[in-house]
Structure 1
Amino acid sequence: MYTLKLTQVGNSVGAVFPKELLARLDLQKGDELYVTESPDGVRITKTNPEFEEQMRAAKAVMKKRRAVLRELAK
């Protein structure tokens, strides 16, 4: 478990991530994090959950309509 410390950054508040956690999550300065609500509270992820859902839907369509897409690509 990691503990994040909140600190003042100008007129905002920022969280300080330990170096080990940044390495484990493959995060670097300037990366974006996405916060979504979950049944347990909030969830913080590196990937955009809305985009991930759109990609899952697109993959399902591409798999189902593979022959049509091949014809269109000609």
Structure 2
Amino acid sequence: MNMSLKIIKVGNSSAVILPKELMAHLDVTAGQSLSVSRTPRGIELSAPDEDFEAQMAAAREVMARRKRALRELAK
């Protein structure tokens, strides 16, 4: 899929309008978030990993409980 997207001004920010074909390809709908990653070829847009937030919550919990051990390991 190769297409040109226009950047528009929205208040003090900028936005890109995604065509419905691209939204369908990404399997997202209006109001959902997209994951943006920098790759050697440029920027990659993808639907967010459904488990990512749960994994991050678990990691934050472990980091909070093991703060001293992690601090020692970081030395």
TM-score (norm 1): 0.56
Q: Is the aligned partner of 1:17 residue 2:15?
A: no
Which residue does 2:63 correspond to in 1?
A: none
Aligned residues: 52
Distance in 2 (CA, whole Å) between partners of 1:24 and 1:47 is 13
One-letter amino acid matched to 2:27:
D
Shift of 1:24: 2.3
What is the identity percentage for the equivalent residue pairs of Structure 1 and Structure 2?
40
TM-score (norm 2): 0.55
Which residue does 1:44 correspond to in 2?
A: 45
Q: Which runs of 4+ in 1 moved over 4 A?
A: none
One-letter amino acid matched to 1:15:
V
Distance in 2 (CA, whole Å) between partners of 1:30 and 1:39 is 28
Distance in 2 (CA, whole Å) between partners of 1:5 and 1:24 is 18
Which residue does 1:62 correspond to in 2?
A: none
User: What does 1:45-64 correspond to in 2, within 5 Å?
Assistant: 45-48=46-49, 51=52
Unmatched runs of 5 consecutive residues or more in structure 1: 55-74
> Which one has the largest radius of gyration?
1
